[in-house]
Amino acid sequence: MRRILGIGCLAGLAAGVAAALFAATAGRGPIRDAIALEDSVSHATGGAHHEDLFSRGVQEIGGAIGLIVFGLALGVIFAVVLAAVGPRLVASTPLTASIRLGFFGFVAVVLVPFLKYPANPPAVGDPDTVNERTVLYFAVLGLSILLTWAVWRFHRGVSLSPVAKAWATAALYGAGLLVIFLALPGNPDAIDAPTDLVWRFRLASLGGLAAAWATLALVTGTLLSRPGRAGESSGTQAPA
Amino acid sequence: MARRGVCHTAPMESHALPIPAPALPDVDVPVWAWALVALAAVVSYFVMLENGVVLSQAAETLHEFFHDGRHFLGVPCH
């Protein structure tokens, strides 16, 4: 357990660095543009311009630190979940088990919430609705994880032929997703920023998170594939 | 999502004569590991979503410091 946790921490740090690199390259431009737009709008309307607590450069560093801290936390969670469900992931090597969990994790934790409430750059969000949006975001995140867990239990519990099982599992997941997407209301904010800017930011965000999850799964799987010390070896299979 | 991977690997397992070893050792996950997960979730919360619900004054500092990261993670923000 300690070994897998140590590996998870390392992999999480690597994932955080991957996300931070992505943010520093692809995410930097859209964020700067969005803030410039926000400032120009608040100047034009004569609105009170809130004094920034931190300069842009400090926020970029803070953002990178935040992503790395987040990556570390994600790595810990990933490692414990992998230890708990890993033996049941029907994978022949630790690397495939890790990649499989990483894929399902990315879809459940990132992709589904993103499809319902896509990421927005600064200047888009309305401060008055931030609590509502936070609740909605948590709702879609929680429901998505819950659905994945329920479908996984169904898949493990039901006795059907492999083909029927695959179709039944996919249908159940699709139906669950449909219910979640229809039950939750849309984003309450009107998006006034230019579509081009918003989507540049969204794709950078999604790409960064995909890079982070891929790094997390690959590094965890690779490190687990190395022969461990006695008692906590990673199975008798040859490393992938 | 469809877990088609299982169907994919099923024939492989039936061909292999020795029962395939589990990919990962079947370790018991101790309670402290789950406690660590809870701690990690709390840390994520402070990075991602703290808008002043739990901390009032320090929240703004924390919020602004991690601001870029929050947006990048796709969590709601003002």
Residues A5 and A85 reside in one and the same domain: yes
Mean pLDDT of A126-140: 89
Question: Do A38 and A7 fall within a single domain?
Answer: yes
Reference A212, options A59, A77, A57, A61; nearest CA is A77
Written as six digits, the tokens of A3 are 């070994």
CB–CB contacts below 8 A, A to B: 212
A225 and A117 belong to one structural domain: yes
Distance CA A56, CA A52 (A): 9
* Highest mean pLDDT (candidates A30-44, A103-117, A185-199): A103-117
CA–CA separation, A73 and A16 (whole Å): 9
B64 touches chain A (CB under 8 A): yes
Q: Do A62 and B65 touch (CB under 8 A)?
A: yes
At which of A153, A173, A190 does a domain end?
Answer: A190
Between residues B6 and A130, the one the model is more confident about? A130
Model pLDDT, residue A51: 62
In chain B, the residue whose alpha carbon lies closest to the alpha carbon of A123 is B78
Per-residue confidence (pLDDT) for residue A208, from 0 to 100: 95
Taking CA–CA distances from B45, the nearest residue in chain A reads A70
Tens digits of residue pLDDT in A76-109: 999 999 999 988 887 789 999 999 999 999 999 9
pLDDT for A230 beyond 70? no
pTM above 0.95, yes or no: no
For the stretch A141-160, pLDDT in tens is 999 999 999 999 999 999 99
Q: Residue B49: what pLDDT?
A: 66
Residues 6 or more apart whose CB falls under 8 angstroms from that of A90 comprise: B5, B6, B9
pLDDT, position B29? 86
The answer on A208 and A183 residing in a single domain is no
Same domain, residue pair A117 and A136: no
By percentage, how much of chain A surpasses pLDDT 70? 92
Domain match, A185 and A135 both? yes
> Does A53 touch chain B if contact means CB atoms closer than 8 Å?
yes
Domain that holds residue A215: 1-47+57-123+195-240
Which sequence spans correspond to the domains of chain B? 29-78
Round to whole Å and give the CA distance between A151 and A171: 10
d(CA B41, CA A218): 22
B6, B21, B30 member nearest A235 (Cβ): B21
CA-based nearest distance B53→chain A, Å? 9
For chain B, which ranges sit under pLDDT 50? 1-16
Query: A32 CB near a chain B CB, below 8 Å?
Result: no
Residue A52 belongs to some domain of the structure:
no
CA distance A161 to A175: 21
Q: State the total domains in chain A.
A: 2
| Among A122-126, A204-208, A230-234, B14-18, the least confident range | A230-234
pLDDT at A234 exceeding the cut of 70: no
Residue A33 within a domain: yes
State which amino acid sits at residue B63. Answer: H
Residue A236 CA to residue A227 CA, distance in Å, equals 9
pLDDT the model gives residue B46: 77
DSSP A29-97: HHHHHHHHHHHHHHHHTTPPPPPPSS-HHHHHHHHHHHHHHHHHHHHHHHHHHHHHHGGGS--SSHHHH
Question: Do A151 and A95 fall within a single domain?
Answer: no
ipTM of model over 0.85: no
pLDDT at residue A158, rounded to an integer: 93
